[in-house]
Amino acid sequence: MGSSKYFTLKEARLSNNCPECYSNDGLEITFKQKLTENIFYKAITSEISHHIHCYNCDSAIFPVRWTDDIERVVNYQKRAVKPRPKSIKLKPLAWAFIFFDLLIVTVVILFATGVVSF
């Protein structure tokens, strides 16, 4: 079946105090965009996720623990992120499937009109 992955759009260091260890040089925010893939296509979606991690105390900082300062910086960073446009790339199997379907439809139409008979 299909799988979903995320690729990194942007990583930024924050100079805010960590709500866990109170260090002001360990916070980093990461923005990721969703990539969906299966046997027929590969697609970039418009879904963007973000998370904050402190490298001094090695903990994830969830939105419940954010201070007002962290919230403002996160909102600023969200506006600064430039996501990749939504796109779909068909794989060779999808192109073969489309070609085979068109071939069958063409044969059926030619047979129905009497141009080709078996």
CB atoms within 10 A of CB 103: 10
Largest CA distance in the chain: 82
User: What parts of the chain have a pLDDT lower than 50?
Assistant: none
Cα-Cα end-to-end distance for the chain: 39
- pLDDT, averaged across the chain: 90
Whole-model pTM? 0.77
pLDDT of 67 reads 87
Report how far apart, in Å, the C-alpha atoms of 59 and of each of 15, 23, 28, 62, 70 are. 16, 12, 11, 9, 15
Strands (DSSP E) contained in 15-117 are 27-37, 41-54, 59-61, 87-90
